[in-house]
Amino acid sequence: MQNNNVYEYINITNVINQLNIKKTRTKGNYIYAICPFCQSSKEKKGYLKINTISNVYMCKNCESSGSSIDLYASLKYITTKEAFKALLKESPVLDDRPYTYNNPVKDEYYRDIVYRQFLKMQDLKEIHYKKLKEMNFKNEYIKDNLFKSIESNNYKKKEICMRLQGQGLKLDGIPGFFQDTDFKWTYKSHKGMFIPVILNNKIQGLRILLDNKYELDTENIWFSSNNEYNGTKASNWPMILKDNKMNWIDMYNSNNSTSIIIATEMILAHKLFNNTSKIVVGIPNNIDKDLILNIVKRMHASEVFLYADKYTILHTSALMYKNTILALEEQNIKVDFRIALTETDIDSDLNEYKEHKKIA
Ligand SMILES: [Zn+2]
């Protein structure tokens, strides 16, 4: 193995080639293949999704997942240590893969300008308006928070991008946008609604509330265009909802914000904010412990009301959720945690919370 580096031997592309796993298609940094564990009945589609950058695989059908070495070890019935040694003995077989370039993300000032103009060009469809009304949002709240449906017509999408460029705005470095095969700018569209993530008065990014559940049992994804030509990846930005009368500097310096609500998922955060006078922090449901600790520290909170939607506890985030609670308690911060499994849960919890605050 003198002439190759170790990475090439343990590269997942090499591992699937060594194991003769049948590939069905490739898209950006992903390879789709027939799952060797479940041989999924819909053979043509291939449920095994392989991420060639992070070197991991996951089957949407049987839910087996792991690293390249895990994959080799499981199929050869050997330990991962033995798998590592075995892989180093064979010459790596790597594919000629097109190189996808992802842009560095533009700063928050620029993103805010582009996203505000972009949202002006999106409508709010009747179906989404109704959905928001069912969640008890007033018209003014819907308008102020820029909730919009996502235009998905390919022709209209390119026209919207041309109008943005006509205003002198550049779309590289803005998550969600990319260049199509005809080199015209377009954006990723999904059936759902944009929920702008606002922090320090600026739209940091756009979270999407999907009409239908996504593959990893979530209703929420980022407006992001990594793995697309000239695309950009979104980060995990938090959102802070507060009274408009309170400015950001006062909020961070205030000693009064001793109790805050942190909610996993933006729409849940809005529902809670709509019902309380508290500061509500919205975070993506692939919850990040350090992100939460930083927010809590910055806001001088001594009590946290941590609220998760059902998707947070249905997948791997449950463990991160638990670790976050433990980490907060370690910092002597009082944590009250709730899980909203249904809409009724939110209502009854909120009433209880309001009652509790009245007594306190
Ligand atoms: Zn499978």
Q: State the pLDDT at residue 3.
A: 46
Q: Alpha-carbon distance 69 to 51, whole Å?
A: 13
Per the structure, the complete domain to which residue 151 belongs is given by: 103-235
Count the domains in the chain: 3
> Do 110 and 219 sit in the same domain of this protein?
yes
- C-alpha 58 to ligand 1 mean position (Å): 8
- C-alpha 201 to ligand 1 mean position (Å): 45
Domain-embedded: residue 98: no
Split at pLDDT 50, 70, 90, the class of 346 is: low
Over range 318-346, report the average pLDDT.
78
> Do 198 and 301 sit in the same domain of this protein?
no
pTM of the model: 0.69
- C-alpha 323 to ligand 1 mean position (Å): 29
Domain-embedded: residue 97: no
> Do 180 and 134 sit in the same domain of this protein?
yes
Amino acid making up residue 278: K
Higher pLDDT, 352 or 281: 281
The answer to whether the CB of 197 falls within 8 A of the CB of 247 is no
Domain-embedded: residue 94: no
What values do phi and psi take at 130, rounded to 5? -60, -45
Domain CATH for 158:
3.90.980.10
- C-alpha 37 to ligand 1 mean position (Å): 5
- C-alpha 23 to ligand 1 mean position (Å): 14
Q: Position of tokens 């330990």? A: 79
Q: Which CA distances in Å does 74 have to 62, 64, 287?
A: 14, 10, 29
Q: State the pLDDT at residue 129.
A: 97
> Do 82 and 115 sit in the same domain of this protein?
no
- C-alpha 59 to ligand 1 mean position (Å): 5
- C-alpha 22 to ligand 1 mean position (Å): 13
- C-alpha 41 to ligand 1 mean position (Å): 10
Torsion of CA 267, 271, 272, 273, to 10 degrees: 90
Which residue among 235, 257, 292 closes a domain? 235
Which residue among 209, 235, 261 closes a domain? 235
pLDDT in tens, 209-253: 999 876 555 678 899 998 788 889 898 899 999 888 878 777 777
- C-alpha 46 to ligand 1 mean position (Å): 9
Which residue among 89, 117, 132 closes a domain? 89
Split at pLDDT 50, 70, 90, the class of 353 is: low
Over range 105-123, report the average pLDDT.
96
- C-alpha 62 to ligand 1 mean position (Å): 4
- C-alpha 79 to ligand 1 mean position (Å): 20
Instruction: For 298-313, give the secondary structure using H, E and C.
Output: HCCCCEEEEEEEHHHH
> Do 174 and 70 sit in the same domain of this protein?
no
Higher pLDDT, 91 or 128: 128
Q: Position of tokens 């300008």? A: 113
pLDDT in tens, 255-277: 655 788 888 889 999 998 988 77
Residue 2 has pLDDT above 50, yes or no: no
Of 24-28, 317-321, 343-347, where does mean pLDDT reach its minimum?
Answer: 343-347
- C-alpha 49 to ligand 1 mean position (Å): 10
Protein residues within 5 Å, CB atom, of ion ligand 1: 35, 37-38, 59, 61-62
